[in-house]
Every structure is written in C-alpha cells, then in structure tokens.
C-alpha cells in the first residue's frame, strides 16, 4: 500500500478502462475479471471508463461490442457511459475540459515543455533506446533546453507537451501482485508526452486525471503498463493528487510467447464465444 492512501482510507473504487480500438481478447477479459474480484472482495465500486481519445484508431462499432463482450464474460459495473454516475461523463472524449485544466496546472508548475520532435526525429537520435517492457523510446532531450517562446514562434506551430522527468530519481511502488517495483527516471523511461501534437491529451495524462477525479483507490491493469505506472506516479505528484494502489496482472501470451494483442483473433472474446466456449470455461482455463 502506498503511504498516501494508507493515511486516507477511502472506500474501495476500482475501474475497467478499455480502449475501443479493436475487439477485446481473453487477456483483457482476465485482467478485468481480477479487477472485479478485487472490488467485490472489498465491497467496493467498479467503474467502467471508455478510453476513446485516440480518434485515429477508435471505431464506434467497437464501443457497443466492448460493453456487450464484457457483460457476456460476466463483468458488471455500477458507473459507466451506459449507466451514468456521480463522476459522469465516463467517455474520455467528453472530458476534455478536465484534461486541459490539468495541462494548465502542469504548465504553471513548469513540469512540462513544448517539443517539436517527430517520432522519426526521436528514432533517428543516436541515444534512443527503448524503455523496458514498453514501446516508447527514451526521449533524447532535444527540446528540453529550448525556450518555449522560440517554439511558439515557429511557423509550423505543431508541438507536443512533454513531462520533464527527474533524471536519476528512483520511482518506487509496492505492487499488490508483483511486489516492490523500482524504475529510474531518465533511464528506464524518459520525458514523456502528456499532450500530443495533434492536440489530443496523451494516455498518461488522461488516465491520471480521470483516476484521480473518479476517486479510484486501486488500479488493476496488465503488467505491460508497469513503466507507465512509474510515469503516472510523477503526474499524480505534480498534480498534487493522491496516488492509488496498483495491482498489475501477468500478461497472457500466445503459444509463441508473444503478448496478446487485439489482432490475435483466435483469442478474441467474440471468436471464443462463437466457438461455443462459456465464460466460466474461459475464466478458469
Ligand atoms: N485504455 C488503456 C488500455 O486499454 C487503459 C490502461 C489502464 O490504465 O488500465 O490499455
């Protein structure tokens, strides 16, 4: 348990936070199942949040399919886009004002800086290894020292906002499933985007803003997001919001050892259901 939440015991609130960018597979469903088991064991509340900010990959048909597949699997939530609730709206695309306000707060606190580097620039930079266990290359720091006004006056005017990580600081947390975790800022992950160049809040920011606003006390998610959790702890700190507890679930892998992705149709919930498998079989198997 992290010290902040231990000092402020709050009623348990967990969340399911799927992204409607494809059909859900068994890996997602098992992680969500754990979230539900943990919420029920504590007599807590489970919230469904639709993470639909990525307009390029998001498809409307996936939202309905997602809710249907989750219900079929046996999941039930008491607040969500379909039910409403005290922290509505539960679609991220309708919560832009909250993200903008948080961005302004980070900007006022000098935690972030504008960055004109494209993905290509970063990949081309010599010293850009990938962070452990996630796809984000470590930002080489090109725009860190530039004065923001020199960037605002550029004719192209397309820039992202990055969080300046405290280089060398060890970000530690005790995971409810995997135990003690330590990640070194600047080494295990670099300055990360909080607001994208196409004017969309990045996952890290939107997730922290919503988990804080929705009073989430424990985040249950896949172990592929461990490094993101370290990034997010820095955001909670910068926004002066209480840090929830974390429980990272082991990832499901296919026979070749690759992590399941939405493109693994064979393990898609829809495919398994069409093959006649029951939710109970899938949960235990
Ligand atoms: N929408 C994110 C995903 O599906 C949520 C991850 C999380 O924070 O639990 O990967």
Please name every residue paired with 80 in a beta bridge, in sequence order, or none if there are none: 84
Read off the CATH number of the domain in which 275 is found: 3.40.50.620
How many whole angstroms from 150 Cα to the centroid of ligand 1? Answer: 35
Residue 100: inside a domain, yes or no?
A: yes
- How many domains would you assign to the chain? 1
Ligand 1 neighbourhood includes 17 CB (under 6 angstroms):
yes
Ligand 1 neighbourhood includes 19 CB (under 6 angstroms):
yes
> Which among 240, 239, 215, 218 has a CA at the least distance from the CA of 229?
218
Q: State which of 18, 33, 219 you would mutate to test the pocket of ligand 1, scoring each by most atoms of that ligand within 8 A of its C-beta.
A: 18
Residue 131: inside a domain, yes or no?
A: yes
Residue 81: inside a domain, yes or no?
A: yes
pTM comes to 0.92
Ligand 1 neighbourhood includes 248 CB (under 6 angstroms):
no
Blockwise average pLDDT, block size 10, the chain, 285 residues: 57 96 91 98 98 83 93 97 97 97 98 92 68 75 87 79 98 98 97 95 97 98 96 98 97 78 78 95 87
How many whole angstroms from 22 Cα to the centroid of ligand 1? Answer: 13
Ligand 1 neighbourhood includes 52 CB (under 6 angstroms):
no
Ligand 1 neighbourhood includes 69 CB (under 6 angstroms):
no
Residue 1: inside a domain, yes or no?
A: no
140-148 long-range contacts (CB < 8 A, ≥24 apart) are: 140/190, 141/190, 141/191, 142/115, 142/117, 143/113, 143/114, 143/115, 143/116, 143/117, 144/113, 144/191, 146/113, 146/114, 148/113, 148/114
How many whole angstroms from 93 Cα to the centroid of ligand 1? Answer: 15
Domain span at residue 163 reads 13-284
Quick one: pLDDT at residue 50?
96
Residue 3: inside a domain, yes or no?
A: no
How many whole angstroms from 225 Cα to the centroid of ligand 1? Answer: 8
Residue 102: inside a domain, yes or no?
A: yes
> Which among 218, 245, 251, 227 has a CA at the least distance from the CA of 30?
251
Return the ligand 1 atom nearest residue 221 CA: 9
Residue 6: inside a domain, yes or no?
A: no
**Residue 222 structure tokens:** 């896949």
Return the ligand 1 atom nearest residue 51 CA: 1
Quick one: pLDDT at residue 3?
47
Tell me which residue has its CA closest to atom 9 in ligand 1: 221
How many whole angstroms from 155 Cα to the centroid of ligand 1? Answer: 35
How many whole angstroms from 207 Cα to the centroid of ligand 1? Answer: 8
């Amino acid at each position: 348990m992290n010290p902040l939440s231990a000092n402020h015991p709050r009623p348990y609130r967990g969340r399911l936070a799927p992204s409607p960018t494809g059909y859900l597979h068994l890996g997602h469903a098992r992680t969500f199942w754990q979230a539900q088991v943990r919420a029920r064991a504590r007599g807590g509340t489970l919230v469904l949040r639709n993470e639909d900010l990525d307009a390029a990959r998001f498809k409307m048909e996936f939202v309905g399919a997602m809710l249907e597949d989750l219900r079929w699997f046996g999941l039930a939530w008491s607040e969500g886009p379909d039910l409403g609730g005290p922290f509505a709206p539960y679609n991220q695309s309708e919560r832009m004002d909250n993200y903008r306000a948080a961005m302004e707060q980070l900007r006022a606190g000098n935690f972030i800086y504008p960055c004109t580097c494209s993905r290509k620039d970063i990949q081309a930079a010599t010293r850009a290894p990938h962070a452990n266990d996630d796809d984000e290359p470590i930002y080489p720091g090109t725009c860190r020292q530039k004065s923001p006004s020199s960037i605002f006056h550029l004719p192209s005017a397309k820039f992202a906002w990055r969080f300046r990580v405290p280089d060398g600081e060890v970000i530690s947390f005790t995971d409810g499933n995997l135990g003690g975790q330590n990640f070194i800022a600047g080494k295990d992950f670099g300055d990360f985007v909080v607001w994208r160049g196409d004017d969309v809040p990045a996952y890290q920011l939107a997730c922290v803003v919503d988990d804080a606003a929705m009073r989430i006390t424990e985040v249950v998610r896949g172990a592929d997001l461990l490094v993101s959790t370290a990034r997010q702890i820095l955001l909670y700190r910068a926004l002066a919001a209480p840090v929830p507890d974390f429980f990272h679930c082991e990832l499901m892998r296919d026979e070749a050892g690759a992590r399941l992705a939405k493109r693994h149709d064979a393990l898609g919930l829809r495919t398994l259901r069409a093959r006649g498998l029951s939710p109970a079989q899938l949960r235990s198997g």
